[in-house]
C-alpha cells in the first residue's frame, strides 16, 4: 500500500470519515450537474409517484413506506421531492427542478455519466488503497439540497439502512458538486462514532402491514456539541464509514448544495441483509466496483 496514503488511512480508521479535497475536477462535477439537469428536464412524474422525501421517522414511514415507488427504486432512476412543494392534489407549487430532493437509486448503473464517475480509475485505485477486495456498488443518489428548502438530514448511520453481516462492510463516497458550506448544509460528523455498532435498523415490513418499511430499535440522543462540520469545496470527496454518525442541517442559504453519493459493500465474506429495503434484482445484481 502506498506510503503517502497511510497517514490518511489511519485517519479514516480513527475518525470514520476522510476528506479528500479536489478529488474530482470541476469539469467532472459540471458533467454530472449538466446530466442531472437533462434528466430532470425529461422527468415525467406520475401523480401517484409524488412521494415527498423526509428523514423524520414517522414521515419516512408515511411517505416512503406507503409507497412501492421507494421500495422498488433500487434498480431504477426515480425522483423524490422536498416537503411542501406539492399541493393536496399532487401538483407542483414551485418549478419542478426546484422541488426535487434527490434522485435514486441506480444512476451508477443506468446513466453513462454517473456510471463513468462511479467506476473511474481514481475511485477504483482508492478502493484498492483501502484494501477492498470485492467491492460492489449497492446504490447511488443525486442530492440537491435546494436553496431555502433543502431539508435537514437528522443524525444517522448509513448501516441503519444498508445492513450487512458482519458490520463494517459499507463505505459511502460523497462528492461535492458545488462548494458545501456551513450555510448551505454541509455534512457534520461525530469523529470516532463508527466503533460501537448500530442501534436502529430500517427493515422491510411483513407483507400485509400498512407500510413497506419499519424501524427496529431507536436512534440514541446524540450530543450536538460532538458534531464537527466538514465544509468541502467543489470536487471534494468525503469517505463515510457505514457506522459513523453524521447529519446535515437545513439549507437556509440562497445557493444549492448538489452532491452525488454512492455506497460500496465489500462483498468478500459478507452477507447483505434480506431485510434491507434495497435488494439486488435479476435485472441489476450489485455490480463490481472494479472493471
Q: Which residues pair with 142 in a beta bridge?
A: 103, 260
Q: Is the pLDDT of residue 251 over 50?
A: yes
Contact 213, 202 (CB under 8 A): yes
Q: Is residue 215 part of a domain?
A: yes
Q: Is residue 26 part of a domain?
A: yes
Q: What is the CATH number of the domain that holds 144?
A: 2.60.120.620
pLDDT at 3: 52
Q: Is residue 112 part of a domain?
A: yes
What range defines the domain where residue 137 resides? 7-272
* 123-127-246 Cα angle (round to 5): 85
Per the structure, how many domains does the chain have? 1
pLDDT at 10: 93
Q: Is residue 284 part of a domain?
A: no
pLDDT in tens, 73-132: 999 999 888 888 877 777 788 888 898 999 999 999 999 999 999 999 999 999 999 999
- Residue 232 to residues 86, 184, 203, 220, Cα–Cα distance (Å): 32, 11, 32, 28
Q: Is the pLDDT of residue 54 over 70?
A: no
Q: Is residue 290 part of a domain?
A: no
pLDDT in tens, 14-26: 999 999 999 999 9
Query: Which bin fits 85, alpha (ψ -120 to 50), beta or left (φ > 0)?
Result: alpha
pLDDT at 93: 87
pLDDT at 65: 46
pLDDT at 46: 57
277 DSSP 8-state letter: S
pLDDT at 63: 55
pLDDT averaged over every residue in the chain: 91
Q: Is residue 291 part of a domain?
A: no
Q: Is residue 288 part of a domain?
A: no
Q: Is residue 1 part of a domain?
A: no
pLDDT in tens, 189-246: 999 999 999 999 999 988 777 788 899 999 899 999 999 999 999 999 999 999 999 9
pLDDT in tens, 133-186: 999 999 999 999 999 888 999 999 999 999 999 999 999 999 999 999 999 999
pLDDT at 159: 98
Amino acid at each position: 500500500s502506498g506510503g503517502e496514503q497511510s497517514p490518511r488511512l489511519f485517519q479514516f480508521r480513527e475518525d470514520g470519515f476522510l476528506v479528500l479535497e479536489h478529488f474530482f475536477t470541476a469539469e467532472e462535477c459540471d458533467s454530472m450537474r449538466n446530466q442531472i439537469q437533462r434528466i430532470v428536464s425529461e422527468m415525467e412524474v406520475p401523480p401517484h409517484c409524488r412521494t415527498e422525501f423526509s428523514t423524520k421517522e414517522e414521515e419516512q414511514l408515511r411517505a416512503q413506506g406507503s409507497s412501492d415507488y421507494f421500495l422498488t427504486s433500487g434498480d431504477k432512476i426515480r425522483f423524490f421531492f422536498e416537503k411542501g412543494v406539492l399541493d393536496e392534489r399532487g401538483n407542483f407549487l414551485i418549478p419542478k427542478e426546484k422541488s426535487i430532493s434527490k434522485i435514486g437509486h441506480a444512476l451508477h448503473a443506468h446513466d453513462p455519466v454517473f456510471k463513468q464517475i462511479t467506476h473511474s480509475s481514481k475511485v477504483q485505485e482508492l478502493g484498492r488503497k483501502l484494501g477492498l477486495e470485492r467491492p460492489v456498488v449497492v446504490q447511488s443518489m443525486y442530492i440537491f439540497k435546494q436553496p431555502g428548502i433543502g431539508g435537514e438530514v437528522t443524525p444517522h448511520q448509513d448501516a441503519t439502512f444498508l445492513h450487512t453481516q458482519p458490520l463494517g462492510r459499507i463505505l459511502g463516497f460523497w462528492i461535492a458538486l458545488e462548494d458545501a458550506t456551513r450555510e448551505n448544509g454541509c455534512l457534520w460528523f461525530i469523529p470516532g462514532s463508527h466503533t460501537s455498532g448500530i442501534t436502529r435498523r430500517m427493515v422491510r415490513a411483513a407483507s400485509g402491514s400498512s407500510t413497506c418499511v419499519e424501524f427496529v430499535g431507536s436512534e440514541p440522543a446524540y450530543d450536538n456539541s460532538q458534531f464537527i462540520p466538514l465544509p468541502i469545496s467543489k470536487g471534494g470527496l468525503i469517505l463515510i464509514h457505514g457506522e459513523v454518525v453524521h447529519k446535515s442541517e437545513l439549507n437556509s442559504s440562497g445557493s444549492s448544495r448538489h452532491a452525488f453519493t454512492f455506497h460500496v459493500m465489500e462483498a468478500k465474506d459478507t452477507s447483505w441483509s434480506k431485510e434491507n429495503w434495497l435488494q439486488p434484482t435479476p435485472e441489476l445484481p450489485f455490480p463490481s466496483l472494479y472493471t
